[in-house]
């Protein structure tokens, strides 16, 4: 599955599953940019066939409901939805 990479500070393995049209997904991306965090993301709705299936399978491992945005940190913590406080807690240790 093809992931887009955003450069920034290394806060571990940070992966964001989004939809290109989702306002909360856009807010999550903006927050990560503001925090200057390095992360990978994929707009699942822009994928086709097997690529989309692979992305959804990967997402289901962390969020069985497959809701967006889903932010996965170090393949263990999954933050579902735009939760600014929790995102900062996990990524900045606040």
For residues 37 and 8, the answer to whether their CB atoms sit within 8 Å is: yes
pLDDT at 94: 53
For 75, counting Cβ atoms within 10 Å of its Cβ (0-12 exposed, 13-18 middle, 19+ buried), the class is exposed
Delimit the domains of the chain by residue range.
4-87
DSSP structure class, residue 12: S
Residue 82 pLDDT exceeds 90: yes
For residues 79 and 86, the answer to whether their CB atoms sit within 8 Å is: yes
Give the CATH number of domain 4-87.
Answer: 3.40.30.10
The reported pTM is 0.95
Instruction: List pLDDT tens digits, range 33-72.
Output: 999 999 999 999 999 999 999 999 999 999 999 999 999 9
For residues 14 and 5, the answer to whether their CB atoms sit within 8 Å is: no
């Amino acid at each position: 599955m093809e992931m887009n990479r955003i450069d920034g500070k290394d806060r571990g393995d940070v992966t964001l599953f989004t939809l290109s049209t989702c306002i909360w997904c856009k807010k999550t991306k903006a927050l990560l940019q503001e925090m200057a965090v390095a992360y990978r993301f994929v707009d699942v709705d822009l994928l086709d066939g097997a690529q989309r299936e692979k992305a959804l399978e990967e997402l289901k491992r962390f969020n069985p409901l497959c809701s967006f945005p889903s932010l996965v940190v170090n393949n263990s913590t999954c933050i579902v939805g735009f939760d600014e406080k929790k995102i900062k807690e996990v990524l900045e240790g606040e």
